[in-house]
Amino acid sequence: MASSYSYLPVDLREYTVAHTTAPDDLVAALVERTRAALPDEAVMQVSAEQSTLLGMLARLCGARQAVEVGTFTGLSSLAVARALPADGRMLCLDVSEEFTAIAREFWARAGVDDRIELRIGPAAETLAATPAEPTFDFAFIDADKPSYGRYWDLLVPRLRVGGLIVVDNVLWSGRVLDPDAGDEDTRALAAFNDKVSGDERVESVMLLFADGLTLARKR
Ligand SMILES: C[S@@+](CC[C@H](N)C(=O)[O-])C[C@H]1O[C@@H](n2cnc3c(N)ncnc32)[C@H](O)[C@@H]1O
């Protein structure tokens, strides 16, 4: 299953995907459904191998409470929710009823809908209204790029020590290297990356994977 982004030569990228656990039928169906229902927006979906990595990371950090900023049609949340124990909880934030209707359908098909709470509205407002105490073991940021810094500021205090924040699109197709980037998204991501690497509250690693993925573990 092809990735949306990659900085590896195509043959090496295909090799890495071929040597990664294959997506199951439900993941494949969600990818197909998103492409068919939302052809113009489907590029926003995480790749299947990225969803595999997210599920593995949630399992590795023993996540019981997870939060996601930017749910779209639900592939990343499906992977994380499946990695939670049966009594685990996941808070999913998005502004679109249309996109997340597909997510709801696939969460139900996976039997994880009872662990997910979806809140529709600007994610920063929803997060700010949650208690500012360490609650989450795992967080995934994948929504509007200019707000990444705000999501970070809201999530770090809400993450327990040892918890993990994963951030998508931190390379923005390589545009973060352009110091004269004129667009708001690129400038926001470049500033966000500087903010994270200078934040003493976490140890972080930026991975050359998909469109760039930062892993940040709270100290
Ligand atoms: C890149 S997509 C997320 C992809 C998703 N993680 C997946 O697994 O396919 C970004 C999502 O962020 C949502 N979004 C944009 N601005 C937002 C905001 N201010 N608050 C919450 N969600 C927002 C969009 O509606 C869209 O569904």
Q: Domain boundaries in the chain?
A: 10-218
Domain 10-218, CATH:
3.40.50.150
The pLDDT score that the predictor gives to residue 52 is 98
d(CA 87, CA 16): 33
Mean pLDDT of the chain: 95
Q: Is the CB of 211 under 6 A from ligand 1?
A: no
pLDDT, tens digit, 9 for 90 and up, residues 151-164: 999 999 999 999 99
Q: Is the CB of 47 under 6 A from ligand 1?
A: no
Q: Is the CB of 46 under 6 A from ligand 1?
A: yes
Give the model's confidence band at 3: pLDDT under 50 very low, under 70 low, under 90 confident, else very high. very low
Q: Is the CB of 151 under 6 A from ligand 1?
A: no
Percent of the chain with pLDDT over 90: 92
pLDDT surpasses 60 at 105 = yes
Q: Is the CB of 56 under 6 A from ligand 1?
A: no
Atom nearest to 72 CA in ligand 1: 27
pLDDT surpasses 50 at 171 = yes
- Residue 161: CB atoms within 10 A of its CB come to 9
CA of 17 to the centre of ligand 1 (A): 24
Cα–Cα distances (Å) from 27 to 50, 52, 74, in that order, read 11, 10, 10
Q: Name, in order, each residue with C-beta under 8 angstroms of 31's C-beta and a sequence gap of 6 or more.
A: 1, 23, 45, 48, 75
The pLDDT score that the predictor gives to residue 6 is 65
The pLDDT score that the predictor gives to residue 5 is 60
Q: Is the CB of 122 under 6 A from ligand 1?
A: yes
Q: Is the CB of 123 under 6 A from ligand 1?
A: yes
- Enter the tokens of residue 157: 């205090």
CA of 155 to the centre of ligand 1 (A): 16
Atom nearest to 78 CA in ligand 1: 8
Atom nearest to 77 CA in ligand 1: 8
Alpha carbon 18 to its chain centroid, in Å, reads 22
Q: Which residue has the tokens 């290297």?
A: 177
Please say whether the beta carbons of 210 and 168 come within 8 A: yes
Q: Is the CB of 75 under 6 A from ligand 1?
A: yes
